[in-house]
C-alpha cells in the first residue's frame, strides 16, 4: 500500500521528489516523463477549456504528506500560491497520524436542483399539484439523463417550498421545486441543470405558473462530508507550551470563531486554505465548494465556525468538520487537464465520495495548524520565514541568492521587499 510518510521530502530538489514518487509508484513512468518534458497545461488544451485564451496561469503544486484517513495513506496534491499551507497541513497530518489518523464519512452524493415558478393563481394548490406528481416528475428527470441510473445515481426525491408568503413581503411570492439527484462520481452541475430544464414545461402545466430559473443550488445540503480527529495532549506540546495549554488554546480559539463572525470568517478562510488547493489540483470547481461551505457555516442564521473543537473525557482534543462537498472524479475539466488527471492518480481515490472525505480531512488539519500556531507562538513566526523566500524573489533574487537573502531578512526581522532589494543590490556589488 502507498505510504504518505516521506521523511526529508521537504529538503529534496524538485527533480529528486519526482524520481522518488516514481520509485514509490505514486507517479507512473508516463507521468514522470510528462512532468520533466511538457508544459503543465498545453496552450491548445487551455484554448479548448475557456474563451479568449491568451496564456495559462500556473500555480505551484505541492504534496500534502502524512495523511492517514480511515486506515489509508494519501499523498495529497495541493495547488496554491500561499507559503506555509502545505507544510502546516503535513505537520498536523503527522500529529493526527500518530494519534491514529483521521476518521471520515460522507452522505450519498445528492445534489440539489432548483426550479423557480412565479405567477401561480393559488400557490398552495400548485404545490399540491406538483407533489401529487412527484414520482412522475422524478421519472421524467431520470429520462432526461438516463446514463446516470446505469452508474448507480439518478433523481431520487423532490420537495416544494413557497417563498415570500407573508403579506407585506418585500419580494414576490414564488414556488421553488427542489429536485434531489445522486450524481454519482460527477460534481453534477450540468447533470442537475439538464434535469431541471427538462421538468420546466410539465411544472408550468401542473401549476399554471411561469418557470424562470432552472439551475443547481451550490448549497448541496444532502451532499456532506465529515472528518474527525482525536489527539492526546502529549502530541500537542510545542516549545514551552504544554499539550494541555495548546489544547485549551485551540478550544478557546474555536469558541472565539463560534461566537464572532469577524473571527469566523478568518478561521474559515484558514480551513479553505487546505480545501481549495485540493479542489483546484483535482480540477474541481472551487467557487462551488467555497460557496457551499460558507452557506453551511451560516445555516443556523449566524455565520460561524465550520469546525468544532472540544475536549473528551480523557482530556484529548477532538476536532470535527462537516461541509457540503460538491466535487467529482469525472466530468467538467477533470479528465481534460493533464495535471488534474495526474492528481487523481496520485491521490488514488476510488470515488467522488472518497475524494470529498479526503478534502474535509485536509480542511480540518489546516484549521488545527492555524489554531495551534495562533494559540502558541503566533502565526507570523512560521509564516514569515516561508514568506521571506517570496519576498526575496519579488526583490529580484535568483538562484543561491534566494536562500541567502531570505535568511538575512529573517535574521534582521525585516521581511519586506524594500529591505530585500537593498540586500540584492549589496549582493550584486
Which residues contribute to the site for ligand NDP (CB under 6 A)?
147-148, 151, 183-191, 193, 216, 218, 285, 288, 328, 330-333
Buried b (16+ CB within 10 A) or exposed e, 308-343: ebeeeeeebbbbbbbbbbbbbbebbbbeebbbbbbb
Nearer to ligand NDP, 185 or 354 (CB): 185
Residue 136 Cβ vs ligand NDP, minimum distance, rounded to whole Å: 23
Instruction: Report the alpha-carbon distance of residue 161 to residue 317 in Å, rounded.
Output: 41
Nearer to ligand NDP, 153 or 233 (CB): 153
Residue 255 Cβ vs ligand NDP, minimum distance, rounded to whole Å: 33
Residue 288 Cβ vs ligand NDP, minimum distance, rounded to whole Å: 4
Q: What share of the chain is helix, strand, coil (3-state, %, to 5)?
A: 50, 20, 30
Nearer to ligand NDP, 92 or 355 (CB): 355
- Contact indicator for 45, 233 with CB cutoff of 8 Å: no
Q: Copy the grid coordinates of residue 102.
A: 483521521
Nearer to ligand NDP, 62 or 331 (CB): 331
Nearer to ligand NDP, 124 or 151 (CB): 151
DSSP 56: -
Nearer to ligand NDP, 176 or 404 (CB): 176
Nearer to ligand NDP, 191 or 424 (CB): 191
Point out the residues that are catalytic.
Answer: 82, 269, 285, 383
Instruction: Report the alpha-carbon distance of residue 176 to residue 114 in Å, rounded.
Output: 6
- Contact indicator for 277, 269 with CB cutoff of 8 Å: no
Q: Copy the grid coordinates of residue 107.
A: 452522505
Instruction: Report the alpha-carbon distance of residue 69 to residue 262 in Å, rounded.
Output: 32
Residue 108 Cβ vs ligand NDP, minimum distance, rounded to whole Å: 12
- Contact indicator for 181, 195 with CB cutoff of 8 Å: yes
Whole-Å CA distances, 399 to 59, 61, 173, 410? 19, 20, 64, 18
Residue 194 Cβ vs ligand NDP, minimum distance, rounded to whole Å: 8
Residue 210 Cβ vs ligand NDP, minimum distance, rounded to whole Å: 22
One-character DSSP codes across 237-304: -BTTB-HHHHHHHHHHHHHHHHH-HHHHHHHHHHHHHHHHHHHHHTT--HHHHHHHHHHHHTTTSS--
Helix (H, G, I), strand (E, B) or coil at 53: coil
Residue 98 Cβ vs ligand NDP, minimum distance, rounded to whole Å: 35
Amino acid at each position: 500500500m502507498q505510504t504518505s510518510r516521506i521523511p526529508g521530502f521537504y529538503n529534496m530538489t524538485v527533480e529528486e521528489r519526482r524520481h522518488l514518487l516514481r520509485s514509490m509508484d505514486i507517479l507512473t513512468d508516463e507521468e514522470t516523463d510528462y512532468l520533466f518534458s511538457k508544459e503543465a497545461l498545453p496552450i491548445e488544451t487551455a484554448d479548448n477549456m475557456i474563451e479568449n485564451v491568451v496564456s495559462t496561469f500556473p500555480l505551484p503544486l505541492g504534496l500534502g504528506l502524512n495523511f492517514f484517513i480511515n486506515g489509508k495513506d494519501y499523498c495529497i496534491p495541493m495547488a496554491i500560491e500561499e507559503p506555509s499551507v502545505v507544510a502546516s497541513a503535513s505537520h498536523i497530518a503527522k500529529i493526527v497520524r500518530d494519534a491514529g489518523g483521521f476518521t471520515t464519512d460522507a452522505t450519498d452524493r445528492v445534489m440539489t436542483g432548483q426550479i423557480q415558478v412565479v405567477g401561480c393563481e393559488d400557490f398552495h394548490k400548485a404545490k399540491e399539484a406538483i407533489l401529487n406528481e412527484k414520482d412522475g416528475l422524478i421519472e421524467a428527470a431520470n429520462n432526461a439523463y438516463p446514463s446516470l441510473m446505469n452508474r448507480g445515481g439518478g433523481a431520487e426525491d423532490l420537495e416544494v417550498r413557497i417563498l415570500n408568503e407573508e403579506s407585506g413581503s418585500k419580494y414576490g411570492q414564488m414556488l421553488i421545486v427542489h429536485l434531489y439527484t445522486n450524481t454519482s462520481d460527477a460534481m453534477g452541475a450540468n447533470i442537475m441543470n439538464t434535469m431541471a430544464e427538462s421538468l420546466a414545461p410539465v411544472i408550468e402545466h401542473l401549476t399554471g405558473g411561469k418557470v424562470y430559473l432552472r439551475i443547481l443550488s451550490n448549497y448541496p445540503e444532502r451532499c456532506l462530508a465529515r472528518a474527525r480527529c482525536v489527539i492526546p495532549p502529549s502530541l500537542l506540546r510545542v516549545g514551552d507550551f504544554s499539550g494541555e495549554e495548546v489544547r485549551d488554546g485551540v478550544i478557546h480559539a474555536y469558541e472565539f470563531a463560534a461566537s464572532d463572525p469577524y473571527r469566523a470568517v478568518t478561521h474559515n478562510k484558514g480551513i479553505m486554505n487546505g480545501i481549495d488547493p485540493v479542489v483546484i489540483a483535482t480540477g474541481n470547481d472551487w467557487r462551488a465548494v467555497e460557496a457551499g461551505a460558507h452557506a453551511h457555516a451560516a445555516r443556523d442564521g449566524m455565520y460561524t465556525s465550520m469546525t468544532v473543537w472540544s475536549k473528551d473525557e480523557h482530556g484529548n482534543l477532538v476536532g470535527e468538520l462537516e461541509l457540503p462537498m460538491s466535487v467529482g472524479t469525472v466530468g467538467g475539466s477533470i479528465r481534460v487537464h493533464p495535471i488534474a488527471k495526474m492528481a487523481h492518480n496520485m491521490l488514488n481515490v476510488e470515488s467522488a465520495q472518497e475524494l470529498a472525505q479526503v478534502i474535509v480531512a485536509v480542511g480540518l488539519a489546516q484549521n488545527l495548524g492555524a489554531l495551534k500556531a495562533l494559540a502558541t507562538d503566533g502565526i507570523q513566526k512560521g509564516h514569515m520565514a516561508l514568506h521571506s523566500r517570496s519576498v526575496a524573489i519579488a526583490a529580484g533574487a535568483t538562484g543561491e541568492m534566494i536562500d541567502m537573502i531570505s535568511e538575512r531578512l529573517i535574521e534582521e526581522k525585516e521581511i519586506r521587499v524594500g529591505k530585500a532589494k537593498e540586500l540584492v543590490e549589496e549582493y550584486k556589488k
